[in-house]
Each structure stands twice: as structure tokens, then as C-alpha cells.
């Protein structure tokens, strides 16, 4: 049996030296290392041999198998290198051809607008303040002068969170606006010095959620940027100056603005801010619904009740607040007709920005 193994090894190595292509190499592997090869039959016959002969023959069979496998791998690598060399010699490589460009990612259009808003208000001295998205009814409504059953709540269809506990008039919900951050920020600042709370100048960006029908002009989720300034002797003139400057930086230095009286429970007086339609120049067009003006945000002086709930004495402190939607700004600037495009993840839309 040992002599048979020597003959198998010698024959296999001799034939391997004459192989010059991959197909012949695979045939050799099947013939000498395959399941039905003479070498594998030796392994099958080990159980029939005398007990004293099995160790020596089994050891020798393993040595032959390892030798043939090593020779096969070496020959396979040799053939691969030879084929590569022939390819390099026969095929001309034009190194002057331009490479494939690497496609760079880009920011979401809403994120681009948000960062521009951050930059503008940062230059005005405002800081970014982050607030939670899951709120209580108390912070989302009540402390902002929306008592239970207030009719203004009907405008903010709300997602309520089932906490498994009856919380009465203070259930848990997904915030419908970023305004609850006003209370949290004021209380945090007021805690620094309850007798003399420091002035505040912050913006509060974040996602809001409302249970609304999804249409071309409304979504169940949207970004919002809240602004808050609190201090001594802050007036409505400060509000108008800040927001008018913001509009000029976003829409151009010559943009005209106007403020219309409105109502929000957490501000008094309240206003809507419009800019002159930059499509028609105020003449009237489908974009501005023939009015010549485009609404961009709501604002007003912080209501005394809200100031008091935030820890600031309304007899000493005043403030203004505003809220805007970055998606709305982006829609107006780029004439986007469907707000659902912001969340559809359609590359054909996103790659335009």
C-alpha cells in the first residue's frame, strides 16, 4: 500500500508539471484529489487493513494528500500570474482615460435651509437651544396659555402617547410646535438667578408632529424654528427689526415686508409676517394667490402669562417670540409645489439641491 501511495504521488506531480491551462488543472484535481480518485480510495480501505499497518499507511496517505494540495495551489497561482502577464503584454492600457468620478453626498434641502437659519440668527447673537420632541400637555399647551378645552387647540391636531396611566388633563404627546421649549428654556435660565434672571436670545429648532391629512401642502411631521428673546425693555420694534433683517438676509436686501395682526394664545400682540412675492414683484400671481404677498412666519410679544410661567416677572421683563417652517421657506425659494417631496426620499428631487 505504501508503494501504491508513492506511485500515486509521483504520477500526479509529473502530470501537474505539464498542465498549462485552467481547465486541465481542474481535471487534474478531480483525477487525483476528487472523491473517486485512487488516493481517496486508499482512505476508504484503511478500515480493512491489519491494525498494525493502519498508522503508517494513514500517515503516508495524509502526507501525499497535503503534498498534492500544495502543488495544486502553487500551480493554480502560477497559471493565474502567467495569464495576467499575457494580458498586460497583449492588451494596451490607456492610463490617460479619466477615472470614474466619486459621487458626493449632499445635505437634504430642509437641512440646508436650517443651517442657513442657524447662521443668520447666530450672527445676530442668538444661540441654539434643543428641546424634547415628546412633551406633556402641560408644557405643550397649558403653560403656553392653552388651558384644557381652549378652542385654539383645535388647530393643532395632536398625537397622544398611550403611557398606560391615566394622566387626566396632562397626557403625554408628540409636540405640535417648538413653543414648549420656550418654557423649558426660560425656567432653565431663571434657575441660574431667580431674583435677577439673565436675558435670553435663543432659537429652538426641531421636528413637530400633527395628526393631519397628508396633502401637497400639509404633512404629519415638519421642522420648525422657534425664536425667543427675553429681557428688559424689549419692544415690538425690536421684533420687527430682527425679523425684517432676517428676511433681507434670506430673500435679498431689497425685499419688502409687512406685519398683519393675528392671534396666538402665547403672544400679545400677535402678528403674521409677509414678504413681497419675489416671483411677480407684488403684482399678483398663482404663487402668492394673486395677493402680491407671501406669508413666512408668525410672531408676537411674549404673553405675560407665559413669561410668569417661565419664571420671569412680566412687570419687569418683556420679550418677543416667532416661529417659522424651514420647509415653507424652501418651498417659496425654489417654487416647490408638493411638501411631500421632502420626505419621499426621491433622488430625482433631492439631487436638485
Per-residue confidence (pLDDT) for residue 214, from 0 to 100:
82
How far apart CA 131 and CA 118 sit, in angstroms, is: 16
Three-state SS at 54: helix
User: Of 170, 130, 150, nearest to 305 (Cα)?
Assistant: 150
Per-residue confidence (pLDDT) for residue 247, from 0 to 100:
92
Contact 322, 298 (CB under 8 A): yes
Across the chain, how many H-helices and E-strands are there? Answer: 11, 10
Nearby residues of 348 by Cβ (< 8 Å), 6 or more positions away: none
Phi, then psi, of 137 in degrees rounded to 5: -60, -35
Per-residue confidence (pLDDT) for residue 309, from 0 to 100:
95
How far apart CA 242 and CA 2 sit, in angstroms, is: 98
Q: Which residues of 327-338 are buried (b: 16+ CB within 10 A; e: fewer)?
A: bbbbbbeeebee
Per-residue confidence (pLDDT) for residue 138, from 0 to 100:
92
The model carries a pTM of: 0.67
Whole-angstrom CA distances from 48 to 52, 63, 94 are: 12, 20, 64
Per-residue confidence (pLDDT) for residue 83, from 0 to 100:
84
Per-residue confidence (pLDDT) for residue 1, from 0 to 100:
67
pLDDT in tens, the chain (353 residues): 677 777 878 888 888 888 888 888 888 888 878 888 887 777 777 777 777 777 887 788 788 788 888 888 888 888 888 888 888 778 776 778 788 888 778 888 989 999 999 999 999 999 999 999 999 999 999 999 888 877 777 777 888 888 777 788 888 999 999 999 999 999 999 999 999 999 999 999 999 998 888 887 778 888 999 999 999 999 999 999 999 999 999 888 888 999 999 999 999 999 999 988 877 777 887 767 788 888 889 999 999 999 999 999 999 999 999 999 888 888 877 878 888 888 888 888 888 88
Three-state SS at 252: coil
Amino acid at each position: 500500500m505504501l508503494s501504491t501511495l508513492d506511485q500515486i504521488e509521483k504520477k500526479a506531480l509529473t502530470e501537474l508539471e505539464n498542465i498549462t491551462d485552467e481547465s486541465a488543472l481542474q481535471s487534474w484535481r478531480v483525477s487525483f484529489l476528487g472523491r473517486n480518485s485512487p488516493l481517496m480510495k486508499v482512505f476508504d480501505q484503511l478500515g480493512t487493513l491489519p491494525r498494525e499497518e493502519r498508522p503508517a499507511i494513514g500517515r503516508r496517505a495524509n502526507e501525499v494528500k497535503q503534498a498534492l494540495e500544495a502543488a495544486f495551489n502553487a500551480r493554480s497561482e502560477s497559471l493565474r500570474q502567467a495569464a495576467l502577464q499575457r494580458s498586460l503584454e497583449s492588451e494596451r492600457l490607456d492610463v490617460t482615460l479619466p477615472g470614474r468620478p466619486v459621487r458626493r453626498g449632499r445635505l437634504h434641502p430642509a437641512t440646508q435651509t436650517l443651517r442657513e437659519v442657524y447662521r443668520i440668527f447666530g450672527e445676530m447673537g442668538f444661540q441654539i437651544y434643543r428641546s424634547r420632541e415628546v412633551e406633556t400637555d402641560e408644557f405643550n399647551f397649558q403653560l403656553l396659555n392653552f388651558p384644557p378645552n381652549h378652542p385654539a387647540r383645535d388647530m393643532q391636531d395632536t398625537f397622544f402617547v398611550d403611557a398606560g396611566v391615566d394622566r387626566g388633563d396632562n397626557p403625554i404627546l408628540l409636540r405640535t410646535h417648538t413653543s414648549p421649549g420656550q418654557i423649558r428654556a426660560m425656567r432653565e435660565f431663571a434657575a441660574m438667578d431667580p431674583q435677577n434672571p439673565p436675558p435670553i436670545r435663543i432659537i429652538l429648532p426641531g421636528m413637530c408632529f400633527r395628526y393631519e391629512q397628508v396633502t401637497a401642502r400639509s404633512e404629519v411631521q415638519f421642522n420648525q424654528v422657534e425664536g425667543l428673546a427675553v429681557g428688559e425693555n424689549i419692544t415690538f420694534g425690536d421684533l420687527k427689526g430682527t425679523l425684517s433683517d432676517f428676511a433681507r438676509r434670506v430673500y435679498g436686501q431689497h425685499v419688502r415686508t409687512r406685519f398683519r395682526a393675528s392671534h396666538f394664545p402665547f403672544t400679545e400682540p400677535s402678528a403674521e409676517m409677509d414678504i413681497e412675492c419675489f416671483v411677480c414683484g407684488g403684482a399678483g400671481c398663482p404663487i402668492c394667490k394673486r395677493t402680491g404677498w407671501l406669508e413666512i412666519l408668525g410672531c408676537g410679544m411674549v404673553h405675560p402669562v407665559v413669561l410668569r410661567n417661565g419664571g420671569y416677572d412680566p412687570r419687569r421683563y418683556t420679550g418677543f417670540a416667532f416661529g417659522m417652517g424651514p420647509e415653507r421657506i424652501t418651498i417659496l425659494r425654489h417654487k416647490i409645489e408638493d411638501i411631500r417631496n421632502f420626505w419621499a426620499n426621491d433622488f430625482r428631487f433631492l439631487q436638485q439641491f
